[in-house]
């Protein structure tokens, strides 16, 4: 473990040497996935008809004589007894009213809201049993509004996607709405359900298929472009905010994207990476700083010595995260002192009341 230097002693951040223990703790990090946020709710129940849904009803009777064949209209068909076909009538499509019902001739008001199409069919058949000869009913829902999910975001016009009894998964619903238009590694999916919002990138969902959760009615899905970036400054060729341009990036690749270390100015012993770490990870790497709120992110300054041969292998295995800040110290000690001052200014507002571990 790197000892706290005179510059960092008493600072509101933990100074940690990158080693095998730090690499082992990296799997503890990560955002809140969909399964963690919403639980394993699985496939939603079979959708029922709701207020606002459009319902279509077709009625048959086994005889060509009687009520249906008495006065066939433009939307009905009636065959003679000689043809051997049952009489049929198709009712005009109607929307389930606010009272939850639909109107069926000779059956009266039939409750539809909160019921499956099979239950509605059976209710109509019972109501018509004394009026028609062996009535048979088919109920369909050509337009669904009550069992839908809303999809919006970058490159998507916005739509309400109907959910079937099969149970649609997240990526299927996004595809039905037109699909994402940006690379998977920088496409962020936000799901809002029952007042809770969680987010993951598409490439993370593809890497963990269990996160491709079932979509429930009234879920709101937002698709947005969110490129990952990191900042590099100090004795590197390119001091700038730089994009990942990939699903994953390690520390060695990030340094290369920044143009590498300047031969004349860089101190290979002084490669630092600053990030706000998950409390569980901070505890696993023994970051020597504690905060009053155990759930608050912990500012950690990681150190890597590239003058040691093993440092290059560690850099290749150390994963970068969105928003990381890399600093390569110069040969002069005063530049490193300036960097410690900058990190302290970033950490202090978040860690008001921080207590250094003893």
C-alpha angle 299-234-239 in degrees, rounded to nearest 5: 100
> Cα(159)–Cα(92) distance, rounded to whole angstroms?
26
Query: For residue 79, what pLDDT is reported?
Result: 42
Task: Tell how far CA 2 is from the center of its chain.
Answer: 38
| Average pLDDT, 10 consecutive residues per value, the chain (358 residues) | 46 84 76 81 83 92 66 44 64 93 92 93 93 90 87 86 88 92 93 93 92 93 94 93 92 94 87 91 82 80 91 93 93 59 62 43
Is domain 36-44+147-225 given the CATH code 2.40.30 in the classification?
A: no
**Exposed/middle/buried for 319, CB within 10 Å: 0-12, 13-18, 19+?**
middle
Query: For residue 283, what pLDDT is reported?
Result: 85
Enumerate the domain spans of the chain. Answer: 14-30+229-347, 36-44+147-225, 54-143
Whether residue 188 contacts residue 225, with contact meaning beta carbons closer than 8 Å, is answered with yes
* Residue carrying structure tokens 């069919």: 121
Query: For residue 5, what pLDDT is reported?
Result: 47
Domain 14-30+229-347 architecture? Roll (3.10)
Shared fold status for 14-30+229-347 and 36-44+147-225: yes
> Cα(78)–Cα(68) distance, rounded to whole angstroms?
7
H or E element in which residue 4 lies: none
Domain 54-143 architecture? 2-Layer Sandwich (3.30)
Q: Which tokens sit at 126?
A: 């019972």
């Amino acid at each position: 473990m790197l000892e706290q230097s005179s510059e960092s002693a008493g600072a509101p951040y933990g100074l940690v040497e990158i080693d095998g223990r730090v690499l082992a703790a990296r799997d503890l990090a990560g955002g809140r996935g969909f399964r963690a946020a919403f639980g394993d709710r699985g496939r939603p129940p079979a959708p029922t008809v709701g207020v606002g849904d459009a319902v279509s009803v077709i009625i048959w009777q086994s005889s060509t004589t009687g009520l249906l064949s008495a006065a066939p209209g433009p939307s009905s068909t009636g065959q003679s007894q000689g043809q051997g076909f049952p009489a049929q009538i198709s009712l005009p499509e109607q929307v389930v009213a606010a009272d939850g019902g639909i109107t069926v001739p000779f059956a009266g008001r039939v409750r539809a809201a909160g019921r499956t199409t099979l239950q509605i069919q059976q209710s109509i058949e019972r109501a018509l049993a004394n009026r028609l000869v062996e009535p048979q009913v088919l109920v369909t829902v050509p337009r669904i509004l009550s069992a839908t999910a809303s999809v919006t975001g970058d490159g998507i016009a916005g739509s309400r996607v109907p959910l079937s009894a099969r149970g649609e998964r997240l990526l299927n619903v996004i595809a039905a709405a037109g699909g994402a238009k940006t690379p998977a590694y920088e496409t962020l999916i936000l799901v809002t359900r029952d007042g809770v919002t969680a987010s993951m990138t598409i490439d993370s969902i593809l890497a963990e298929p269990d996160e491709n959760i079932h979509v429930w009615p009234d879920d709101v899905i937002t698709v947005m472009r969110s490129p990952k970036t990191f900042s590099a400054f100090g004795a590197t060729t390119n001091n700038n905010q730089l994009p990942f341009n990939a699903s994953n990036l390690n520390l060695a690749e990030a340094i290369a994207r920044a143009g590498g270390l300047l031969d004349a100015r860089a101190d290979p012993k002084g490669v630092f990476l600053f990030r706000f770490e998950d409390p569980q990870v901070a505890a696993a790497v023994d970051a020597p700083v504690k905060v009053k709120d155990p759930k608050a992110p912990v500012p950690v300054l990681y150190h890597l010595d590239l003058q040691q041969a093993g440092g290059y292998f560690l850099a290749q295995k150390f994963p970068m995260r969105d928003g990381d800040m890399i600093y390569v110290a110069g040969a002069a000690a005063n530049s490193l002192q300036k960097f410690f001052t900058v990190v302290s200014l970033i950490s202090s507002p978040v860690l008001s009341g921080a207590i250094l571990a003893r």
